[in-house]
Every structure is written in structure tokens, then in C-alpha cells.
Amino acid sequence: MEQHMIPLQMDILRESAERVRTRLGHPTPMAAAILGSGWGSAMADWTVTHTIPYGDIPVMGAAAVKGHAGALHLAETGEGSCLVFQGRRHFYGCAAWEPVIFPVYLAHQLGASTLLLTNAAGGVRADLQPGDLMAIDDHINGMGANPLCGPHHPDLGPRFPDLTHLYTPALRRELDESATARDIPLKHGTYLAVSGPSYETPAEVRAYATMGADAVGMSTVPEAILAGSLGLRVAGLSCITNRAAAIDNDALSHDDVIEITQAATPRMRTLVTTFMQRVGAATATKR
Ligand code: HPA
């Protein structure tokens, strides 16, 4: 974990954000979304106006994982524009926090007020089965790390950010209403993040269940923490791709994760689009 103790390079975050702002033509997006493993097609119904491959954004670093190709898009949802990070950088794949948290920093710098975080996760609670979609109500940080460790940067919020209502209650309701309107089953639960990249052992999964986890994955929590610290409204969605390691499991594989998300793609796409349009409509009436 030592590499993560390198203090955040705020100048690199700031410069990269300014470069991207210029390249996107100084946009004022209403929201941002990070599309994690298997969620890449969730934006298929939107009109993309700009695309920047992650390779052109030095702070994002190189792509590491299948299903995480990586490009930043500016897209029109029909009710306002959204910054879309198609593919994320993970704690386990990075020598520093900057690539993991840049999307959140950028979203805040460009004035987006809502952030949607999506991921693939293993189901811990008995009813969370492969293919299910789950709204994240709360999280447990089991990564053993926090992107806000190190010297305090007032640009990233207070020294001790409050996370009591991190997954914004109004957005959780909005997710429910979007799902109901489009007849999509949506479960709710607490997401526990581990550092990865190894999957959990059965004993760990039993322990996480006792701790109150409903699903387990390797992402989202660092981004949510920074977003909460910056005062963004946060919504989270998991696609359950497998039962987390349990005695009745076959071996877990990333290919299975991708296969299950493909089957869930039409629901992901409809839910994300409906949610963003509702958020956009509500944001516009407040302006
Ligand atoms: N554990 C951790 N991360 C995951 C899993 C899992 O079972 N499934 C998809 N991402």
C-alpha cells in the first residue's frame, strides 16, 4: 500500500482539468457519470458531442482491465449535458490516486452537481443474484485506504468530511422512480469496497455479511468519498455479476462479469437514461 501514501499532486489534477475543459469547449454539464465494468453501453441513447480518449489525458494513465477501454465523452442526454467517463481507473491498478479521482475532481471543476457511479459487484446478501441491479444506499470502505489521506487540500473539501448522507436520498428516490416508470426491478443495498485485485475468500465474504455488506466490489468508494467531500450529489448503481465467493460458487472470473453485464445492458441503459433525464429536468427547473 505504500505507493498510495504519495501525497496528491494537486497541480497535476488542476492542469489536467483545465486542459480537458478547453478541449471540450468550456462545457457546463449538469451531471457526470462513471461507467464501470460492463456499464459502457449505458450511454448508448445519448448524443456524444466530444470524445477524448484517456490516452490523451495524461493524468488518467494507461488502460489496465478488459471492459475498461477508456474515453471521456461529453454527451447530450435530452435534458442537459453529462460528462461520461466510459471506463474507470482502479485503486489496484494505479501507483497513485490521481487517475482514480480525476473524474470526480473534473466533474466538480466543471460545475456538475450530480455524479452517478456505476460498477459490477458480487452479491453478498442472499437475494442479490447475477443480473440484478442494485441502488447503493451506503458503503463500507474496506480498501484500507482513503484518497483524502495526506496533506489537507482545501480545494478537495473539509479535513474531516461528513458522509452521513453520502448517497443522496433524493437521488435514491429518483432511481426508484426511474426504475418503476420503466418497469425495471431495482434492489437496494450497502456496497463494500475491497482493494482487489484478488476476489474475496469465502471466509471474507462471511465476515463482510456480518459487517452489514450486501454487495462487494473493487471501486466506487474512493470516488464517492471525494464527491461527498466536494459537495456533489452522489448516486450509485451496481450490477450484480456473481454471487460473492461462497462454497456453492464455481471459480470467479472477469469474463463472467462481462458476460452477465452484457445480458443486463438493456436495463442499465434504460435506467441510466431515464434517471439522467429526470435529474436534468429537475436541475433545469431549479436554475
Ligand atoms: N468481488 C469483488 N469485485 C467484484 C465481484 C466480486 O465478487 N464481482 C464483480 N466485481
pLDDT in tens, 74-84: 999 999 999 99
Q: Which amino acid is at 252?
A: L
In this prediction, residues 108-137 reach a mean pLDDT of 96
Q: Which amino acid is at 77?
A: T
- C-alpha cell belonging to residue 20: 480537458
Q: Among the CATH numbers 3.40.640.10, 3.90.1150.10, 3.40.50.2000, 3.40.50.1580, which is that of 3-286? A: 3.40.50.1580
**Under a CB-based contact definition with an 8 Å cutoff, are residues 112 and 227 in contact?**
no
Return the ligand 1 atom nearest residue 217 CA. 3
Q: Is any ligand 1 atom within 6 A of the Cβ of residue 222?
A: no
Percent of the chain with pLDDT over 70: 93
* Total-model pTM: 0.94
Q: How far is CA 190 from the centre of its chain?
A: 14
Say what the pLDDT of residue 247 is.
55
Return the ligand 1 atom nearest residue 119 CA. 10
Say what the pLDDT of residue 251 is.
76
Q: Is any ligand 1 atom within 6 A of the Cβ of residue 216?
A: yes
Please write the tens of the pLDDT for every residue from 194-235: 999 999 999 999 999 999 999 999 999 999 999 999 999 999
Q: Whose CA is nearest to atom 6 of ligand 1?
A: 122
Q: Is any ligand 1 atom within 6 A of the Cβ of residue 143?
A: no
What's the CA-to-centroid distance between 209 and ligand 1, angstroms?
A: 14
Residue 257: band (very low, low, confident or very high) from pLDDT cuts 50, 70, 90: confident
Q: At what angle do helices 10-23 and 98-109 cross, to 10 degrees?
A: 50
Q: Which of 118, 134, 242, 249 to mutate to test the pocket of ligand 1 (most atoms within 8 A of CB)?
A: 242
Say what the pLDDT of residue 2 is.
47
Say what the pLDDT of residue 27 is.
95
How far apart (Å, rounded) are the C-alpha atoms in residues 220 and 236?
A: 8
How far apart (Å, rounded) are the C-alpha atoms in residues 199 and 201?
A: 7
Average pLDDT, the chain: 91
- In degrees and rounded to multiples of 5, residue 123 shows phi and psi of -80, 125
Which residues 6+ apart lie within 8 Å of 189 measured at CB? 125, 128, 134, 135, 136, 137, 214, 215, 238
Return the ligand 1 atom nearest residue 254 CA. 9
Residue 96: band (very low, low, confident or very high) from pLDDT cuts 50, 70, 90: confident
> Which string of DSSP letters, residue by residue, matches 64-92?
-STT---EEEEEE-SSSEEEEEES---GG
Half-sphere exposure of 97 (CA within 13 A, CB side): 26
Any idea where the domains of the chain sit in the sequence? 3-286
What's the CA-to-centroid distance between 278 and ligand 1, angstroms?
A: 30
How far apart (Å, rounded) are the C-alpha atoms in residues 229 and 115?
A: 13
What stretch of H or E contains 231?
none
Residue 284: band (very low, low, confident or very high) from pLDDT cuts 50, 70, 90: confident
Residue 148: band (very low, low, confident or very high) from pLDDT cuts 50, 70, 90: very high
- C-alpha cell belonging to residue 145: 485506504
Q: Is any ligand 1 atom within 6 A of the Cβ of residue 128?
A: no
- C-alpha cell belonging to residue 55: 490516452
Residue 279: band (very low, low, confident or very high) from pLDDT cuts 50, 70, 90: very high
Q: Whose CA is nearest to atom 2 of ligand 1?
A: 217
Say what the pLDDT of residue 151 is.
93
Residue 61: band (very low, low, confident or very high) from pLDDT cuts 50, 70, 90: confident
Whether 1 has a pLDDT exceeding 50, the answer reads no
How far apart (Å, rounded) are the C-alpha atoms in residues 145 and 195?
A: 8
Residue 85, beta-bridge partner list:
34, 72
Whether 278 has a pLDDT exceeding 90, the answer reads yes
